[in-house]
């Protein structure tokens, strides 16, 4: 009985599929013009006037709140709206060099090299950094977020263990996802909790009679809390 039902169901699915295919092959799509009156639609688009996002009173407040300089002249006032804590944006020499660079390479060259390509200044800077640090080579990234998220995936692999602070930054977590490693979080700046987690993995290694690669990833100053990591204790 069950076999008969299966055969009937299969015949029904095949028949329905053939009917649907025939319908789609013979169906004639209607032209857009026959469905929508294009002249009326174009007229409505031209006549459309969006409402202002703010009223006159709010607009006046916004005008008064404009900051005209990258760094206020008041020495007691620090502009935290920009990452310009050393006031390099107001350095005339740097501004002139930036203008020359933009006129030569365009503004797009400041984006990721995977999109805009590698140009001579990338290679020149990498060579200078490598020479300064006494290294064979260095790799230049366009943005700090991509640096940490890419570097983790380059070192950590699927069967590795990563130990990290629970307050680690979002960019670092993206690197964890790319690496596909097993991630073990320890309490914020708590070296005793880290040591406990390390001992637990040692027991796992003993049970499986296998050694795993283990990485410890922390931040010098945590973006989320502003606290400094206890690096000497972590190294110990």
pLDDT at site 6: 59
pLDDT at site 70: 57
d(CA 193, CA 186): 6
pLDDT at site 69: 59
Whether this prediction's pTM lies above 0.85 is answered by no
Quote the longest CA-to-CA distance of the chain: 90
pLDDT at site 133: 95
Strand boundaries in the chain, DSSP class E: 161-165, 182-186, 214-217
pLDDT at site 119: 84
d(CA 150, CA 144): 10
pLDDT at site 55: 78
Q: Residues of the chain whose pLDDT is less than 50?
A: 2, 32-33
pLDDT at site 32: 47
CATH number of 151-235: 3.40.640.10
């Amino acid at each position: 009985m069950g076999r008969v039902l299966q055969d009937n169901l299969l015949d029904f699915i095949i028949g329905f599929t053939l009917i649907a295919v025939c319908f789609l092959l013979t169906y004639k799509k209607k032209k857009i013009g026959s469905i929508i009156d294009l002249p009326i639609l174009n007229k409505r688009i031209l006549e459309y006037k969006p409402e202002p996002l703010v009223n006159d009173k709010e607009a006046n407040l916004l005008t008064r709140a404009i900051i005209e300089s990258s760094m206020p002249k008041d020495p007691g006032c620090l502009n935290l709206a920009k990452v310009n804590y050393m006031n390099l944006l107001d350095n005339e020499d740097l501004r002139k060099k930036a203008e020359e660079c933009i006129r030569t390479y365009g503004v797009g060259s400041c984006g990721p090299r995977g999109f805009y390509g590698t140009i001579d200044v990338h290679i020149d800077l990498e060579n200078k950094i490598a020479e300064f640090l006494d290294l064979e080579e260095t790799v230049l990234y366009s943005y700090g977020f991509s640096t940490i998220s890419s570097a983790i995936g380059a070192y950590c692999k699927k069967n590795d263990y990563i130990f990290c602070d629970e307050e680690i930054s979002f960019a670092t977590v993206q690197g964890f996802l790319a690496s596909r490693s097993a991630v073990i979080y320890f309490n914020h700046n708590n070296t005793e909790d880290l040591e406990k987690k390390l001992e637990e993995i040692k027991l796992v290694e003993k049970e499986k009679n296998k050694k795993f690669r283990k990485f410890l990833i922390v931040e010098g100053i945590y973006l989320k809390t502003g606290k400094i990591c206890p690096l000497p204790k972590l190294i110990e």
